[in-house]
Copies of this chain bind each other. A is one copy, B any other.
Amino acid sequence: MLSLMAKLYEVIVLMFLSLISKITTTSSNTSTNVSIIDGNSYQLSWRLAVETNNIRMWRTVPAQCIRYVENYMLWGQYARDLDVVIEQINDYVRDLAMVELIDGMDAWILDIDDTCISNLAYYKGKRYGGDPFDPAGFKAWVQRGVCPAILPVLRLFEELVEGGFKVILLTGREEEALGAATMENLRNQGFVGYERLIMRGPEFKGQSAVIFKSEMRRRLTEEGYRIRGNVGDQWSDLTGDYVGDRTFKLPNPMYFVP
């Protein structure tokens, strides 16, 4: 009888321990999830402020946001955010198609880095923007010409070209050093059939993207192009002069280009 009780006692203790461990595990999952809501609320606010151009001239992702940005980029929310913007672009393109494209001067402007092709693999090695910009490292990366296409943007590109729009790729990349690699990278990723690739010439070295891109858009406008849409991951693609009839901001919480 006593040995039975001892056995029963042992069983009970084991069950208890297993239950307590279960509770602890569950609780810790819970607090992880709560931290995604509550603990990450600052991270959410930070990302929103970046995406709305309220936070400017930032040099690195703040320490408390690095892990969050990694999860954002890798675990689906970035892809979903991108898809919702592309849906909006498609709706707008559909409306535009109602207007007949007569003279071949209806243009779209697309940025290149993290708009047409992705630098995510490079930024993985830079803690998703947690490390400061490394001009030599980034140049070496670009020269490899291995940036993968951002697929929803590639599909948009193809639809615009097929739809009769002139697609102009406008990038802050320096023409002299990066022209060949950029052209090859675009080609190997399927960006074929664009009207023009405009890169930064030596006269704009050191200028902000807003200044350089505004001037390029001014020249395009003077040539007679009507900029129907303008797509970029940076506000410096979409602000300044001659920004176009509509601008679309793609998500990018990893870096800021002035």
Contact = CB atoms under 8 A, between A and B. Distances in A.
A37 B48 CA distance: 16
Nearest to A9: B8
Contacts of A248: 54
A27 interface: yes
A5 interface: yes
B22 A84 contact: no
Residue of A34, A41, A48, A247 contacting most chain B CB atoms (<10 Å): A48
A44 interface: yes
Contacts of A53: 247, 249
A88 B55 contact: yes
A64 interface: no
26 contacts: A1-B1, A5-B5, A12-B12, A19-B23, A22-B23, A23-B23, A26-B26, A30-B30, A33-B36, A33-B37, A36-B36, A41-B77, A41-B80, A44-B80, A44-B81, A45-B77, A45-B81, A45-B83, A48-B51, A48-B81, A48-B251, A52-B52, A52-B85, A53-B247, A54-B84, A54-B88
Minimum-distance CB pairs A-B, first 7: A33-B33, A45-B84, A52-B249, A26-B26, A45-B81, A45-B80, A30-B30
A210 to B, nearest CB: 13
Interface residues of A, number: 42
A85 B15 CA distance: 51
Contacts of A48: 48, 51, 81, 84, 251
A70 B157 CA distance: 37
A197 B54 CA distance: 25
A37 B52 CA distance: 21
A207 interface: no
**What's the number of copies of this chain in the assembled complex?**
2
A133 interface: no
Nearest to A77: B41
A202 interface: no
Contacts of A1: 1
A104 B140 CA distance: 51
Contacts of A34: 33
